[in-house]
């Protein structure tokens, strides 16, 4: 155990080393490590936020999808209803049209029948009058018995 100037040299070296570490080693390293810790924390927070955003977006997507489906279903239902309605309307229209046609045809037929009857009656009346004239040529004055002839004609 012999003390000498080595002790002093060691103390001076120590002081210089501590000063150097204080100046050039410790602050940059700890600052960098703090910066990194902050960045990691930020990154984790951002990831958490991203996750939440994703969840919200997924929820919104599901909502919109459900809404769209509902709308589609409603549209389909409305369309079906409308189609049925159109079919019914068409059926109705066709039915009325048919009925109208039938009625018209019937009335035409009736008219034809009437006209035919009329013609027939005219002909029969004519024939009868002609027959009667032939039979009663001498006894019947056409001018005298015109009223009678007309009434007979009307009876046919």
* Interacting residues with another protein (CB under 8 A): 1-11, 13-18, 20-22, 24-26, 28-30, 32-33, 35-36, 39
Work out how close the CB of 38 gets to another protein at its nearest, in angstroms, rounded to a whole number.
Answer: 10
Q: Which is nearer to another protein, 33 or 45 (CB)?
A: 33
Work out how close the CB of 48 gets to another protein at its nearest, in angstroms, rounded to a whole number.
Answer: 21
Q: Which is nearer to another protein, 3 or 138 (CB)?
A: 3
How far from 40 is each of 27, 52, 81, 139, CA to CA, in Å? Answer: 20, 18, 60, 142
Work out how close the CB of 47 gets to another protein at its nearest, in angstroms, rounded to a whole number.
Answer: 16
Q: Which is nearer to another protein, 24 or 44 (CB)?
A: 24
| CA distance linking residue 153 with residue 134, whole number of Å | 17
Work out how close the CB of 43 gets to another protein at its nearest, in angstroms, rounded to a whole number.
Answer: 11
Work out how close the CB of 46 gets to another protein at its nearest, in angstroms, rounded to a whole number.
Answer: 16
Q: Which is nearer to another protein, 40 or 102 (CB)?
A: 40
**φ, ψ at 110 (rounded to 5°):** -60, -45
Q: Which is nearer to another protein, 4 or 142 (CB)?
A: 4
Kindly write down the DSSP assignment for every residue of 35-61, as one continuous string. HHHHHHHHHHHHHHHHHHHHHHHHHHH
Residues 6+ apart with CB under 8 A from 129: 149, 152, 153
Instruction: Indicate the DSSP class of residue 2.
Output: -
């Amino acid at each position: 155990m012999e003390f000498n100037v080595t002790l002093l040299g060691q103390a001076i070296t120590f002081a210089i080393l501590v000063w150097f570490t204080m100046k050039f080693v410790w602050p940059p390293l700890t600052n960098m490590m703090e910066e990194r810790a902050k960045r990691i924390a930020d990154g984790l927070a951002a990831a958490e936020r991203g996750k939440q955003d994703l969840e919200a977006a997924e929820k919104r997507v599901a909502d919109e999808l459900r809404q769209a489906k509902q709308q589609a279903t409603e549209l389909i239902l409305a369309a079906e209803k409308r189609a049925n309605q159109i079919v019914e309307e068409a059926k109705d229209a066709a039915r009325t049209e048919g009925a109208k046609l039938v009625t018209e045809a019937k009335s035409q037929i009736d008219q034809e029948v009437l006209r035919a009857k009329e013609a027939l009656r005219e002909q029969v009346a004519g024939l009868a009058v002609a027959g009667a004239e032939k039979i009663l040529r001498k006894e019947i004055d056409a001018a005298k018995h015109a009223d009678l002839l007309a009434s007979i004609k009307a009876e046919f």
